[in-house]
Copies of this chain bind each other. A is one copy, B any other.
Amino acid sequence: MSAKRLILNLFEMSTPTHITHGLWRLPGNNRHRYTDIGYWQELAVLLEEGGFDAVFLADVVGAYDVYRDGFDDALREGLQIPNTDPLLVVPAMAAVTRRLGFGVTFSTSYEPPFAFARRMSTLDHLTRGRVGWNVVTSYLPNAARNFGLADEIPHDERYEIAEEYLDVLYKLWEGSWDDDAVVRDATGGVYSDPTKVRRIDHVGRRFRVAGPHLSEPSPQRTPVLFQATASPAGIALAGRHAEVVFTGTWGGPIRPTVEAIRRSAVEQGRAASDIKVLVQASVFVAPTDDEARATYARYRAYRSEIGRYVHSSTPFDPTLHDPSATVGQALAAEGRESGLVPPSLRRMTVAQYSEAVDEAWNERFQAIGNPARVADTIERWLEEDGIDGINLRQYHSFDTALGFARLATPELRRRGLLPPADEPPATLRERVFGAGPRLPDSHPARRYRNGRSL
């Protein structure tokens, strides 16, 4: 019996193909129903009953267009295009659930913070405090060109923008309204007490925002802050801001990254336990090991090679080269700069590269077998790798989540890795940290409480 609690999210995106390229073609897969409100409501009920903490919704605001110099392959693969806005499926799912959380991706790169602040407060109200925000900075060149820019914003500048963006949001979410501002005094005719609401008057390098925030305080105020990162700049940002970090390696050991993330938090005056660390994981569970392996093999036959090149923005065409040639040779043969691919990948053969860039079939966090075997494997990740939870990859919608819910969840509950089914509803932050609904005092956003430091 492990004392550690598993954070269990489903990794999802409102699009035909998210990360499991080619698998929309699997018989019975519901991925083409992503525009249907019923898809999201069925999924939400299934996840809540299956003990999932949250559905983690990825997003992009442009098309992948590096591989073969265009987005034709992305369209053919249904690879993250077409897609729809992830924020708008949350209210539909919230309406049919009471416990499930929602981690929504939104980029700090292109849209005004004032409007986004209200959107997240609205979601936090409508979900009764079950919303998280996956803070990302945008990287797709096509996305930049959809928002008036000539090309993507340089990496360091994106992080500078993100820092100020977060600061504006914290002022609005934490500092603009006091907890007791809304009095609803019908006799005195006072809805809100104006002495407890204030402008933020933010004037920074990038943003000028007056306020006040338009939304009254929501259950969590600041949504649970997710961040997906593995880069040094990302880890520095996470140490300061993130509550849940979604990270990964490409096959190597994860522990150094986990430790770097926790160390970064401590360096910022926070506790190592203030950050939960998640990884992407695959779980193929069935009543018997043989059946689980058969499902794995059946799904794997639907992989799309082109899909993985599109998704990894491969800057050459592996299909044109001898699989035993190196990537460096392939780049040279196409007359492309070697710097387009990092040295570690450049030294690989084309065949090795092709496997390395396909995260969904990476064997590092992969559990295949009967419920006990799968639970043993997950328990080992928690103990040996030092992670706190997983974003479960979907290969088949809804069979992947359904299989986990029916077979893995009962076993994980027996072992105390997941809370019992009758755990009372709570906010996402309470659920993840077992503490209150608001950010802890150690978080930098809290310095704005009651309008201080504004």
On A, residues with C-beta under 8 Å from B are 14, 16-17, 22, 24-25, 32, 35-37, 41, 61-63, 71-73, 75-78, 81-85, 87-92, 94-96, 110-112, 114-115, 118-119, 121-123, 125-127, 142, 145-149, 177, 182, 184, 186, 189-194, 197, 207-212, 214-216, 218, 304
Contacts and interface: CB of A to CB of B under 8 A. Distances in A.
A95 B115 CA distance: 25
A124 to B, nearest CB: 9
Contacts of A85: 115, 118-119, 122
A75 B197 contact: yes
A83 B215 contact: yes
B145 A208 contact: yes
A110 B62 CA distance: 20
Contacts of A24: 186, 191
Contacts of A216: 35, 82
A212 B61 contact: no
Contact of A94 (B92, B110, B112): B92
A189 B197 CA distance: 56
A61 to B, nearest CB: 7
What is the oligomeric copy number?
2
Contacts of A218: 35
A171 to B, nearest CB: 12
A62 B112 CA distance: 14
A4 B208 CA distance: 50
B83 A37 contact: no
Contacts of A148: 112, 207-209
A77 B215 contact: no
B71 A214 contact: no
A78 B191 contact: yes
B88 A122 contact: yes
A76 to B, nearest CB: 5
A84 B125 contact: yes
A167 to B, nearest CB: 15
Contacts of A209: 145-148
A32 B87 contact: no
Contacts of A16: 191
Contacts of A90: 88, 91
Top-5 shortest CB links A-B: A78-B191, A145-B210, A72-B194, A35-B125, A82-B216
A71 B214 CA distance: 12
Contacts of A110: 112, 115
Contact of A147 (B17, B112, B194): B112
A191 B146 contact: no
A449 B129 CA distance: 43
Given A37-B126, A41-B95, A75-B191, 6 more contacts: A36-B126, A62-B214, A77-B189, A78-B191, A84-B215, A92-B94
Contacts of A77: 189, 191
Contacts of A22: 189
Contact of A114 (B75, B115, B147, B210): B147
Nearest to A123: B88
8 contacts: A25-B189, A35-B218, A75-B197, A76-B189, A76-B191, A76-B194, A82-B192, A85-B119
Which of A63, A85, A123, A186 gathers most chain B CB within 10 Å? A85
Given A88-B123, A95-B41, A123-B88, A210 B146 contact: yes
A90 B210 CA distance: 28
A81 B214 contact: yes
Nearest to A80: B214
A211 to B, nearest CB: 7
A32 B190 CA distance: 12
A212 B121 CA distance: 30
A214 B75 contact: no
A29 to B, nearest CB: 9
Contacts of A123: 88
B25 A115 contact: no
Nearest to A304: B189
A215 B145 contact: no
